[in-house]
Amino acid sequence: MSQQKPVVVVTRKLPDAIETRMMELFDARLNHDDHPMEQSELIEAVKTADILVPTVTDRIDSRVLSQANPELRLIANFGTGVDHIDLASARERGITVTNTPGVLTEDTADMTMALILAVPRRLAEGEHVMRSGDWKGWSPTGMLGHRIFGKRLGIVGMGRIGQAVARRARGFGLSVHYHNRNRVHEEIENELEATYWESLDQMLARMDIISVNCPHTPATYHLLSARRLKLIQPNSYIVNTARGEIIDENALTRMLRGKELAGAGLDVFEHEPAVNPKLMELDNAVLLPHMASATIEGRAEMGEKVIINIKTFVDGHVPPDRVLPGEYI
């Protein structure tokens, strides 16, 4: 890397204060109109960048990385999930990858809890009835949903976000169950009164609500496959604020249509920004535009983390949020 300020290419518009600071510290190239970059633009970006700051909307695949300037040493992702970056190619090229964990945990857990409440209690349907002018007034059998209190919540992925969801869920009287690659520490299990299920299949078959909170990796692609979705009871609900690719979206849509599942709350989709049109037609699905971590505070903290990761790296130290080299691959 040159002695001058490093060229930092930022693929999307970030909060103003973050962009201002980046311009002070680095030779920052910003995306003023915030358009999602085409693959050809990403290739141009990696040809000029010493450091790339992408987001979930950029596909940093092997084709893009194969054209990277040899000076590209760091990809400082604005976001926690790094599944849009080909980590194997980055590793081959000796590129360090960082992310922004922790700062979006509570916001994502809040939105997960909001969906856990919204779907069984038919919040979106109720709102729609009001705005469409169809409401004829209260009735004893009107808008009946399912009680949350006393139900079983199965969390798939008990990392930071899964644990934050569990803490909230206990306040609503849900019993907490989880499946994770590794069992979490006993102290955490005790605090959350969480039951560990080694077998995901067995857990799925016994839960009232399932919340997906694991990262998308090659091992979790379609973790909730058509076969596994069929194990879930027809009166159960699924919430996903992690990544669309973890659930077979077509199979899920078919099952929701056929009332083989009671409902779903989805903030993420398999082919974003495209959404299965059949999903859009369903009353028993609450759909959100990948906004679980979208708070002003969270975005500012994500930006600060990106800056700290870059600055530490440029100063010759190991950045605090290094994903690669690391345990990911």
Catalytic residues: 243, 272, 290
Smallest distance from ligand 8YV to CB 260, Å: 28
Alpha carbon distance 255, 234 (integer Å)? 9
Using the minimum distance from each CB to ligand 8YV, give the nearer residue, 100 or 253.
100
Smallest distance from ligand 8YV to CB 267, Å: 9
Using the minimum distance from each CB to ligand 8YV, give the nearer residue, 25 or 294.
294
Q: CA quadruple 187, 111, 11, 57: dihedral positive or negative? A: positive
- Amino acid at site 197: W
Q: Cα 302–308–310 angle (5° rounding)?
A: 105
Smallest distance from ligand 8YV to CB 78, Å: 5
Using the minimum distance from each CB to ligand 8YV, give the nearer residue, 79 or 263.
79
Q: Are 15 and 300 in contact (CB under 8 A)?
A: yes
Query: For 127, phi and psi rounded to 5 degrees?
Result: -65, -40
Smallest distance from ligand 8YV to CB 292, Å: 6
> By the criterion CB under 6 A, which residues form the site for ligand 8YV?
55-56, 78-81, 104, 292-293
Query: For 114, phi and psi rounded to 5 degrees?
Result: -60, -40
Q: How far is CA 80 from the centre of its chain?
A: 8
DSSP, res 208: S
Using the minimum distance from each CB to ligand 8YV, give the nearer residue, 80 or 284.
80
Alpha carbon distance 77, 318 (integer Å)? 15
Tokens of 287: 């759909």
Smallest distance from ligand 8YV to CB 143, Å: 31
Q: Are 188 and 132 in contact (CB under 8 A)?
A: no
Tokens of 192: 């959350």
Smallest distance from ligand 8YV to CB 43, Å: 20
The beta strand positions in the chain, using DSSP E, are: 7-10, 27-29, 51-53, 74-76, 96-98, 152-156, 175-179, 194-196, 209-212, 237-240, 263-266, 285-287, 322-324
Smallest distance from ligand 8YV to CB 127, Å: 24
- Amino acid at site 109: A
Element (H, E) at 109: helix 105-118
- Which candidate, 169, 172, 174, places its Cα nearest to that of 151? 174
Tokens of 84: 């849009």
Question: Which residue's C-beta sits nearest to ligand 8YV?
Answer: 79
Using the minimum distance from each CB to ligand 8YV, give the nearer residue, 31 or 55.
55
Using the minimum distance from each CB to ligand 8YV, give the nearer residue, 220 or 293.
293
Using the minimum distance from each CB to ligand 8YV, give the nearer residue, 148 or 158.
158
